Structure 1
Amino acid sequence: MLVTLLVAVAGSSLFGAQAPISAAQSTPVKSEGEANSLNDVAGLTAFIDGIMKVHMDNFKFPGAVISIVKDGEILLAKGYGYSNLEKNQLANPETDLFRIASTTKLFTWTAVMQLVEQGKIDLDTDVNTYLKTVKIPNTYSEPITMRHLMTHTAGFEEGGVGYQITTDPKKLPVSISETLAKHMPARVRPPGEMSSYSNYGAALAGLIVEEVSGIAYNDYIQKYVFDSLDMKYATVQEPIPAALEAFSVPGYAKENGVFAAQPPTFEGGFRPAGSAAVSAIDMAHFMIAHLQNGRYGEKQLLKPETALLMHAPAFQFHKDLPAMDLGFYELYMNGRKVISHGGADMQFNTELYLVPDKQIGIFVSYNGGDGALAADGLAKAFLDRYFPVEEASLPLVSSELNDAVQKYAGSYQFTRRNHTDIDKFYSFMSKISVAAAGNRLFIGSGAEQQVFEPIGPDVFQQVGGEGRIGFRTDESGKVTHLLLDFLPAMPLERASLLDQTSFWFPLLGISVFLFITVILGFLYRRREISAMPNEQKWAYRLSAATAVWALSTIVATLVIVMNMDLLTRLSRITQSLNLYLFMPILLVGFTLAMIVLSVLAWKNKYWTVLKRVHYSLIMLSAVALSLFFYHWNLLGWHFG
């Protein structure tokens, strides 16, 4: 579930990742006959074996499972490495329960569409119509609908610090409705306006399934999805039920160069967004059903028209970029439409890709390491081998487009972020900078830099690659949003000045320098200060105390808040965090006192003019730092 991992990667090393790179819809594809080589199962197996061997070395995961389907049949289902190192147990695609995190949402969305075709849910009706135990506030005149939830356009902010997951099985089971009522995020944009990936929205859809059907979410998915598809090694229950516990796969992380099993994480009340653990062969059944318009064997999971609706574009940032379908997100890979969904938590990474026009599905899951990068590389290598794309030259564009690229330059931040809670601070560094030179845009730097050229209004094609980026503008022509084609559920919006690191870093740097000068000055001039009149002496002492406290608060912010590991951050509010939050408040107290004494210093003409200026600069530095903590929700206890 913890798509917060994806946001962290996207914000820091987005273009270092081998992410799914989309190709233009219009890119020519080679002849259909090349796909016939998939009939050579031995060749396919050898090809995947070779990729997995390289990936296990490069991406450092202990084990993985994969299943590939075509035309209603399983072409390949295989395990690689170990599913349990302690038991020396090789990965088994038939029975091993790999956690699939946010890929669980596909089960939730499928359940929703079952109820849609039964007439129990309407995609465009206010979700409050269906909710019995939780009500969404009417922040905007437009209501949130199921279509908004399924396309991640409901307009919720992101949240999760302290409550998104737990590692304590004694806290389970947890009520979905109680969790969603307690941790409801703010509505920060009108529904339908812009996508912003939301675990809360998916969990809310799961609650609606529960309350509309009258069947507990876990039981509904088991009966109407898993049982219908003969998925015997699949569950959304937490902890994994006793009957399947023997097949549970632990997640691993490297500790001192050796893989060590990590404590399992649980989604609790957010389980419709990420609690499933499933075998690769059972996921093959699920892929076959969706590729065959809802049919698996003699069972009809969805009516054909319902499945086609689910796989069709439902929200599109730009007509030339991948859309959000109803639950699936689109990618364009080697000129083909792929509908997909991935999932990641602290140890597991999963990806599912469906190529509807070729009736091909790929599922792969890893129990450690950099599985996300491995999965993307595997899918791309598969398509390059079996459905290669011909070289396509960039279209000629008008000089007007070439001359207008400068307006796209700037700093962008993900729409998927927090606005009202302490979570906001964790988006401080998650920005993408776009630079412009000549008729090109540049993202990243050094070897990771990608270059884009215009191919149409607000759309740019990667030079030497298949990636695309697109922009949205307002009525005045001002650029407001950016979309990377491999993250259709997570657009970015132009960052305001107060959200940019380029604003805060120089300001904080100057403040730190001034704080250091006042401390050094105080130590150097101790005797001189002691001889001053009392009011001047205490004014100096206050400035030194404020500087010491400000620097201590900055250090504590780095050590306690910024350096908190993801598992701790999302599972509990630590005592150290609670205690830390007193520090910015006390800083504000020091700052207010300095403001008063700065006024007195000028009014009563303390010291020389130069020293009064310096004193005022220290006061302004304290004000700037206090505003920093206020803006990033570190002033007080803002927990969701």
Structure 2
Amino acid sequence: MPDTQSFDTGRWDAFLAEVARRHHVPGIVAGVLSIDPETGAEKRFVTSTGVTNKRTGVPSDKDTVCQIGSITKVVTATMIMQLREEGKLDLDTQVTEILPEFVLASPHAEEITVWNLLTHTSGIDGDLFTDTGRGDDCVAKYIETLAEAESLFTPKTGWSYCNSGFVVAGRIIEVLDGGTWDASLKARITEPLGLDTFFTLPEEILAHRHQYGHVRQPGQKDWNPAPVAAITRSMGAAGIITSSVDDLLDFGAAFLRDGETGSGQKLLSSESISLMTEPQWDLDPAVGTAMAPHWAIGWMIDDWNGHKVQWHGGTTIGNKAWFQVLPQDGLALVVFCNGGVAPHAAHEIYGAFAEEFAGTVPSAEPAPTGGDSDAVVQDQWLGTYSDAGTSLTVTQTEDGTFQAEISQASLERRLGKKPTEATPLALLPAGAENRFVARPERLEPWSTVSFTEVDGKPVAYVGIRCLPKREEADQ
């Protein structure tokens, strides 16, 4: 186990303050949990810097809660695995066996299994942030709206990050438990682990010091409080939990203790823990560099120089979160940022944690390997690609370079944000054929753009979203 000096919060507070300053992050809360694999002895610390909200100036502290966004998906996957242990479903159970009302605009609904939902291989258009109200029936109403949803590919022939699929998984939990997803979360996760947070409703969050998201308008230098505080309740199972660092570390501890809670009861069996953390889908090499090369049940799986890492990130409106578990090292890491160039800041922070406590460093962030004149996009990839939330148009300029115009106006409207005007971005090579990066300005992280085929058809990936190529008649 690392020595006591490694857990000196004063040292880490100063480090966070410097990272926040350089990357324009208003507030950061982060922490490390270390469990000795032999003795089970536990050490942890939580460190913080900055403010929860630039408008109020309230300082961030170690108890400040933050929206964990899509890290919620790991929690939802855990609940599905509990239902599997109870014999109420299996991973190859067809969704329509539990939700006969589940239909899509394309004819693939009956082919989709629970496994497809948890591994992002269902093909359901993933960024449908439809607001169906605050009522306890909001998830059931959301399922009804999917009758208009497109399939991006035939189930299990491809991969695309899918928020919608995890809402469907949340509805499965509701039907089998006979209540709301929120109630199942409390009964299955919050209470067994003895957590104080894992909030899902704003009235719960408002009683605590909480990180408020900050956003920046294009061309400006400053991040300011976001116009909208949170995503809609209907998306709960995909990304609505708000947690303290300590409580998220406690959730991670169950995966380090082979499924056991701190009190010794089982959250999951050893077999379920193993299954959840085994790669289920190998991403196309052009895509895997955007996040991780493998996907498991709810988790992303990476390798940091021989150290296995199971992890997930989360993005809401101006908030970002990172959660990593290194099982062989007995480590869980958490980083919360409420604005700024958060991906760069977080990479420095969890990178420093990994080096200090595990003697390793994380995979490199996406970055260009040459200039725009070095990029080569084959003619077959030129054109327009889109899903319900994102569109991409790739063209060649008169000087022979290539540019991408990326718009998420539809998604931004669903999230209550002012749509950002799309501008052409130079495509730069990223170290492999058909793999590129682009960004509008220095105060943005690099976005990955890659091209491949899925289900026998040309697609582009913007980050981890699969966008089918559109014919002119479809545009």
In the superposition, the TM-score normalised over structure 1's length comes to: 0.56
Which one of the candidate residues 246, 252, 260 is aligned to 1:295?
Answer: 260
Answering whether residue 46 of structure 2 is matched by residue 101 of structure 1, we say no
Q: 1:51 to 1:137 in 2, by over 3 A?
A: same
Structure 1 contact 104–276 (Cα < 8 Å) conserved:
yes
**CA deviation after TM superposition for structure 1 residue 133, in Å:** 4.8
For 1:326, the equivalent position in structure 2 comes to: 297
For 1:212, the equivalent position in structure 2 comes to: 176
For 1:277, the equivalent position in structure 2 comes to: 242
Which one of the candidate residues 92, 96, 101 is aligned to 1:128?
Answer: 96
Structure 2 contact 231–317 (Cα < 8 Å) conserved:
no
Deviations 1:86-129 (A, max 9, x none): 554322233x2211111111111111111011111110011111
Q: Aligned AA for 1:144?
A: I
Structure 2 contact 211–338 (Cα < 8 Å) conserved:
yes
For 1:24, the equivalent position in structure 2 comes to: none
Answering whether residue 391 of structure 2 is matched by residue 427 of structure 1, we say yes
Q: Aligned AA for 1:316?
A: D
Structure 1 contact 203–273 (Cα < 8 Å) conserved:
yes
For 1:305, the equivalent position in structure 2 comes to: 271
Q: Describe the SS at the equivalent of 1:115.
A: helix
Answering whether residue 186 of structure 2 is matched by residue 343 of structure 1, we say no
Deviations 1:55-102 (A, max 9, x none): 2112212112112112163422122212244554322233x2211111
Q: Aligned AA for 1:295?
A: E
Alignment of 1:75-474 (within 5 A): 75-94=44-63, 96-131=64-99, 133-135=101-103, 139-140=107-108, 143-160=111-128, 164=130, 175-184=138-147, 185-236=149-200, 238-241=201-204, 245-253=207-215, 257=222, 259-260=224-225, 262-297=227-262, 298-317=264-283, 322-385=293-356, 386-388=358-360, 411=381, 417-418=386-387, 423=388, 426-429=390-393, 449-452=429-432
Q: 1:165 to 1:379 in 2, by over 3 A?
A: farther
Q: Aligned AA for 2:254?
A: A
**CA deviation after TM superposition for structure 1 residue 357, in Å:** 1.6
Q: 1:180 to 1:241 in 2, by over 3 A?
A: same
- Tell me how large the CA RMSD over aligned residues is: 4.0
Structure 2 contact 258–270 (Cα < 8 Å) conserved:
yes
Q: 1:380 to 1:253 in 2, by over 3 A?
A: same
Report which of the two structures shows the higher radius of gyration computed on alpha carbons.
1
Q: 1:631 to 1:414 in 2, by over 3 A?
A: closer
Q: Which moved more, 1:107-116 or 1:364-373?
A: 364-373
Structure 2 contact 91–114 (Cα < 8 Å) conserved:
yes
Structure 2: stretches of 5+ with no match in the other structure: 363-374, 403-424, 437-447
**CA deviation after TM superposition for structure 1 residue 309, in Å:** 0.5
Structure 1 contact 412–492 (Cα < 8 Å) conserved:
no
**CA deviation after TM superposition for structure 1 residue 300, in Å:** 1.4
Structure 2 contact 103–109 (Cα < 8 Å) conserved:
no
Q: 1:265 to 1:412 in 2, by over 3 A?
A: farther
Q: Aligned AA for 1:175?
A: C
Q: Describe the SS at the equivalent of 2:345.
A: helix
**CA deviation after TM superposition for structure 1 residue 179, in Å:** 1.8
Q: Aligned AA for 1:387?
A: G
**CA deviation after TM superposition for structure 1 residue 302, in Å:** 0.6
Q: 1:187 to 1:470 in 2, by over 3 A?
A: closer
Identity %: 22
Deviations 1:350-403 (A, max 9, x none): 11111122121111111222223322232234334542479xxxxxxxxxxxxx
Alignment of 1:38-49 (within 5 A): 38-42=2-6, 45=9, 48-49=12-13
In the superposition, the TM-score normalised over structure 2's length comes to: 0.74
Q: Describe the SS at the equivalent of 1:338.
A: strand
Q: Describe the SS at the equivalent of 1:308.
A: helix
Q: Aligned AA for 1:631?
A: D
Q: Describe the SS at the equivalent of 2:207.
A: helix
For 1:613, the equivalent position in structure 2 comes to: none
Which one of the candidate residues 22, 43, 48 is aligned to 1:58?
Answer: 22
Q: Describe the SS at the equivalent of 1:83.
A: coil
**Distance between the aligned counterparts of 1:99 and 1:432, measured in 2?**
40
For 1:631, the equivalent position in structure 2 comes to: 474
Q: Describe the SS at the equivalent of 1:150.
A: helix
Q: 1:41 to 1:130 in 2, by over 3 A?
A: farther
Q: Aligned AA for 2:318?
A: Q
**CA deviation after TM superposition for structure 1 residue 414, in Å:** 11
**Distance between the aligned counterparts of 1:325 and 1:432, measured in 2?**
37
Deviations 1:120-153 (A, max 9, x none): 1110011111115544577149610010000100
**CA deviation after TM superposition for structure 1 residue 296, in Å:** 1.8
**Distance between the aligned counterparts of 1:47 and 1:430, measured in 2?**
47
**Distance between the aligned counterparts of 2:394 and 2:458, measured in 1?**
17
**Distance between the aligned counterparts of 2:103 and 2:378, measured in 1?**
39
Q: 1:472 to 1:445 in 2, by over 3 A?
A: closer
Deviations 1:153-201 (A, max 9, x none): 00112443xx5359xxx85555201122124412232111111111110
Q: 1:410 to 1:60 in 2, by over 3 A?
A: farther
Deviations 1:593-616 (A, max 9, x none): xxxxxxxxxxxxxxxxxxxxxxxx
Structure 1: stretches of 5+ with no match in the other structure: 1-35, 391-404, 437-443, 461-467, 499-626, 633-640
Structure 1 contact 414–490 (Cα < 8 Å) conserved:
no
**Distance between the aligned counterparts of 1:384 and 1:410, measured in 2?**
43
Q: Aligned AA for 2:431?
A: V
Deviations 1:491-548 (A, max 9, x none): 677x56x4xxxxxxxxxxxxxxxxxxxxxxxxxxxxxxxxxxxxxxxxxxxxxxxxxx
**Distance between the aligned counterparts of 1:427 and 1:350, measured in 2?**
25
For 1:557, the equivalent position in structure 2 comes to: none
Q: Describe the SS at the equivalent of 1:186.
A: coil
Q: Aligned AA for 2:155?
A: P
**Distance between the aligned counterparts of 2:431 and 2:137, measured in 1?**
47
The aligned length equals: 412
Q: Aligned AA for 2:336?
A: S
**CA deviation after TM superposition for structure 1 residue 340, in Å:** 1.2
